[in-house]
Amino acid sequence: MNNNGKTMKWDSAFYQDKHGFVAEYGKELLKYIFDSAPGHILDIGCGTGTLTGIMSGLGHQVTGIDASPDMVLNARNHHPAIDFLVMDACDIPWENTFDIVFSNAVFHWISNQKKLLSSIYRALKPGGKLIAEMGASGNIESIQKAFEAISRQYGYQYQSPFFFPSSTEYGSMLEHAGFHVIFLEEFDRPTPLEEAGDGLKNWIRQFFANDLEHFTPEICNAIIRDVEETLKGKLWNGTRWIADYRRLRIIAEKPVP
């Protein structure tokens, strides 16, 4: 569920084909898993299961959850030996079950952060760790501003569905939820989009899909062209689009009583 209370619609095949960079960058987060003894991991927002499969291959028992039935079906087809479930991350039913809760590029889609962190805290064993990465303050700022301005010209008021906190803000939220914060890092990560000249268009069609539903196909194409023209001087490097990503990396522990 996003900040506007609307469920994001995901086309898992399109996502996997055009936005594989999300999982590729997520592999950097796995370095915090490599030295962990085999245990039980919950992968929140598992998507098509790319990172879930890698963690399973390291000897962990992994459960993947995602709010999108299409994503879960895709994950099950690619990794039939892993348990994948359609589930809201704010309503995790387990208590004191997981050694690690892992999540890549998901938390910024969730509006009720208090409920999310409470749900994760309850699901972790004492001494268990939350290892996650999400969008940080300023993430995709240029893209959002351009889309907002252009869509307004067509009579639409864009409202961001994302929650992009600073490290200070999120650290306070983690501590309030009961976690001991081990590591927080906020950093720039300019991200090349796939398919060169079509990269920004594909990105907009995926991540602003709910907003584009308000327009005819012709107006959608016009909006995308105008956004590309607006951002060409800033995000186009001559051969491909480079999205202005900023990330927040999180490691926090559920204290042992």
Question: 232-243 pLDDT, tens per residue?
Answer: 999 999 999 999
pLDDT value of residue 112: 97
pLDDT for residue 139 is more than 90:
yes
Res 7 pLDDT > 90: no
List the end-to-end C-alpha distance of the chain, in Å, as a whole number.
33
Rounded to the nearest integer, the mean pLDDT of the chain is 91
Residues 237, 50: Cα–Cα separation, whole Å? 29
Q: What is the mean pLDDT of residues 188-202?
A: 92
Question: Which run of H or of E encompasses 84?
Answer: strand 83-86
Residue 255 confidence (pLDDT): 98
So what's the pLDDT on residue 15? 46
Q: Which candidate, 160, 150, 172, places its Cα nearest to that of 219?
A: 150
d(CA 4, CA 164): 14
Q: For residues 65 and 88, what is the distance between their CA atoms, to the nearest angstrom?
A: 8
Q: Give me the pLDDT at residue 194, please.
A: 85
Average pLDDT over residues 190-200: 91
- Tell me the residue ranges of DSSP E strands in 108-234: 124-135, 180-188, 191-192
- Nearest CA-CA partner of 2 in 155, 172, 207, 191: 207
Q: What is the C-alpha separation between 57 and 159, in angstroms, rounded?
A: 40
Q: Taking 60 as the threshold, does the pLDDT of residue 3 lie above it?
A: no
Q: What angle do CA 116, 212, 137 make, to 5 degrees?
A: 40
* Structure confidence at residue 137 (pLDDT): 98
Q: For the residues 110-137, what does the mean pLDDT come to?
A: 98
- What CATH superfamily is the domain 12-139+162-193+244-253? Vaccinia Virus protein VP39 (3.40.50.150)
Give residue 25's pLDDT: 75
Polymer length of the chain: 257
Whether the predicted pLDDT of 18 surpasses 70: no
Q: Locate tokens 């889309």: which residue? A: 147
pLDDT score, position 4: 40
E strands in 28-162:
40-44, 61-66, 83-86, 98-104, 124-135
Task: Give the pLDDT of residue 1.
Answer: 38
* pLDDT, tens only, 53-102: 999 999 999 999 999 999 999 999 999 999 999 999 999 999 999 999 99
The residues spanned by each domain of the chain are 12-139+162-193+244-253
What pLDDT is stored for residue 165 in this prediction? 98
**What percent of the chain has pLDDT above 70?**
91
CB 250 within 8 A of CB 44: no
The answer to whether residue 106 scores a pLDDT higher than 50 is: yes
For 192, the token pair is 């090349």
- Return the higher-pLDDT residue of 15 and 84: 84
